[in-house]
Chain A
Amino acid sequence: DGGITQSPKYLFRKEGQNVTLSCEQNLNHDAMYWYRQDPGQGLRLIYYSQIVNDFQKGDIAEGYSVSREKKESFPLTVTSAQKNPTAFYLCASKTGTGVGEPQHFGDGTRLSIL
């Protein structure tokens, strides 16, 4: 089945530790996005990538890093510089063409601090 797969579903981070969240899609979508959602708030954009080997910072990129070495994969690393990483992280993708194309989401990763 085509879709977006995020793993793990739950992740716990120790102080000073970097952790990487996986996002894989088999929809042949060009663009991929990472969002963070805090309780009672809307989604905020962390990073996005429109093509392989290229990505841009979103609104809250500090303390995060990404790579886009393959079209299907867009992993997000939460570094120790991110002081408040506890949140629900959502990966999304869309086709590169068409201004009206919506984004489709994976089922998310919940990150907590130990």
Chain B
Amino acid sequence: RKEVEQDPGPFNVPEGATVAFNCTYSNSASQSFFWYRQDCRKEPKLLMSVYSSGNEDGRFTAQLNRASQYISLLIRDSKLSDSATYLCVVKIPGNTGKLIFGQGTTLQVKP
């Protein structure tokens, strides 16, 4: 089983749609969780951290379910500019700062 698993997609949605991505992780002691966005042939950029209580940033909502070991990202009112690959990232236990990256979920928003 992969340490961090995502459905690679692609998810093709029309503008204005609501889309949700899920990610599962295998290490129950994982400490921190993030969603990164990666545009084609570019570096990953932090989209948002994921907190235990769930958190929202504009059209984006992230949730963490520790009992089931999954993280979700909800995008409301999709824009064309949301088209990208979304990486689920988990920090493993310990103080090394090491992150485990999912392979990413590709979103394509169509006009």
Interface residues of A (CB under 8 A from B): 31, 33, 35, 40-45, 48, 50, 56, 58, 88, 90, 94, 96, 99-108, 110
Contacts and interface: CB of A to CB of B under 8 A. Distances in A.
B49 A43 contact: no
Contacts, number: 57
Contact of B103 (A31, A40, A99, A101): A40
Given A33-B99, A43-B44, A105-B44, 20 more contacts: A33-B97, A42-B4, A42-B100, A42-B101, A43-B99, A43-B101, A45-B98, A45-B99, A88-B41, A90-B43, A94-B97, A99-B31, A99-B32, A100-B49, A102-B49, A103-B97, A103-B99, A105-B43, A107-B42, A110-B41
Interface in B1-59: 4, 8, 31-32, 34, 41-46, 49
B33 to A, nearest CB: 9
A107 B43 contact: yes
Interface in B57-111: 87, 91, 95-104
Nearest to B104: A42
A107 B44 CA distance: 8
B101 to A, nearest CB: 4
A9 to B, nearest CB: 11
Interface centre among A44, A103, A104, A110 (most CB of B within 10 A): A103
B97 A48 contact: yes
A42 B86 CA distance: 11
Contacts of A58: 98
